[in-house]
Amino acid sequence: MEIHSKQPIRVLCAHVSEHVERPVTVQGWVHSIRHLGQLAFVNVRDRSGIIQCVFERELTEMPLSLESVLSVSGIAALAPKAPGGMEIRAVSAHCMSAAAPLPFEVNKKTIGARLDTVLDHRVLSLRHPRLHATFRIQSALAGAFRDYLCRRGFTQIFTPKIVAAGTEGGSNLFPVDYFGRQAYLAQSPQFYKQMMVGAGYERVFEIAPVYRAEEHNTSRHLNEYVSLDVEMGFIQSEEELMDLEQEMLRYMLEKVAAECEAELALLGVDIRLPDDIPRIPVAEAQRIVERKYGKTSPKGDLDPEGERLICQHVAESGKAALVFITRYPREIRPMYAMPAPENGALTASFDLIFNGLEITTGGQRIHDYEELVSSIRGRGLDPEHFAGYLDVFRYGMPPHGGFAIGLERLTSRLLGQSNVREASAFPRDRTRLAP
């Protein structure tokens, strides 16, 4: 390879060790600069990692700033004291794009800035190795989700994100002017994934954004997030869905552990799933948190503090802090939720709570046309407003159900992040529309 070639062959930093005592060219961002006598040590960072480049003679006088984009050509050499045990003894270097003064440093162990400042300069902050690792892991989670389901006969679907009505007939909708007609951003692919089950695909999934016009401005909420949705036909009960999710999460975490070993080590995260995730009816969970912690709960549900406490209870029993909460009352579940067979006032539904935060909602759905119409009317809604959704139920719908996982919530819980915005590359909340 010609070092001074106009079109050098680029080698990733992590692969320099494959070219010992041979010429290489690396290209990336200036991570750090250190002068020592007649030498300059310039660490260059690319998507694979960091390599030390040793500048001598006139190269030491080259004007450089942190985060400038640099191309360095030289000889790869073993260097036990260098990051990764390798360095490049530079022969030539070219600044491809100079960086302006930085609002905060991205070469320290952590970023010394408030979260809002970090998000205001999101692209720059994502260069920090720890933040960069977050989205490598998130990508692996989504890939493993897809891989697991495809291997088990599920079909990936792509559903509309501009819809005529809300999925659950409620508010929290973002209106859209659709050529003079009122439309909305989709709260969920719920109706469409049920339709695709009824269309004969039986097992479907989607990875896509959903939109909730909620006024919440908390560490738990986003107004746009990525939903990992699953729906499957010919089930006997919601227990099959919880079995599926438990097995799927174990597969996902094993896959991430294998693919993101360096990122997990950098973040100090150990990801393991218990053999069995406990399943506790919501009424029992309420009794536990009241008896054990003196915490009262809202009717038929757990509030955020209750979710944290029930996970604490599970963790104290020697299990990971995951728990399925089941048997929610019909009045707080959507109109399509299947009534529980032993008590029609309850539903065959569940949430999965992970480290004190709900990451999944799911359950069996009503598949009988007349029963679904009655449930819709029972909520004070007009079935005519759901005609397109209801139509498939008139022509034979198998027993079915599914669940949805919030990707950002799963990522933030897995990595121990205190705010779900940290697990969104470009979060959208009540006040943030940029970048």
**Binding-site entries for L-aspartate:** 168, 212, 361, 365
CA pair distance 162, 21, nearest whole angstrom: 57
Name the CA radius of gyration of the chain, rounded. Answer: 26
Specify the DSSP class assigned to residue 9. Answer: P
Q: List alpha helices for 197-237, DSSP H.
A: none
Q: Please give the single-letter amino acid code of residue 367.
A: H
Q: Where are the beta strands (DSSP E) in 282-392?
A: 322-326, 339-340, 343-347, 349-354, 357-365
Q: In terms of Cα–Cα distance, which of 221, 210, 258, 280 is closest to 412? A: 221
Residue holding tokens 């320099």?
Answer: 16
Strands 349-354 and 279-281 come out as: unpaired
CA pair distance 286, 262, nearest whole angstrom: 40
Q: Which 3 state secondary structure label does DSSP give 301?
A: coil
Tell me if the bond preceding 435 is cis, omega within 30° of 0. Answer: yes
**Residues of the binding site for ATP:** 212-214, 220-222, 358, 406-409
Residue holding tokens 């493993």?
Answer: 144
**Residues of the binding site:** 168, 212-214, 220-222, 358, 361, 365, 406-409
Residue holding tokens 């599920």?
Answer: 154
What is the DSSP secondary-structure string of 74-97?
Answer: EEEEE-TTSGGGEEEEEEEEEEEE
Count of alpha carbons within 13 Å of 399, Cβ hemisphere only? 12
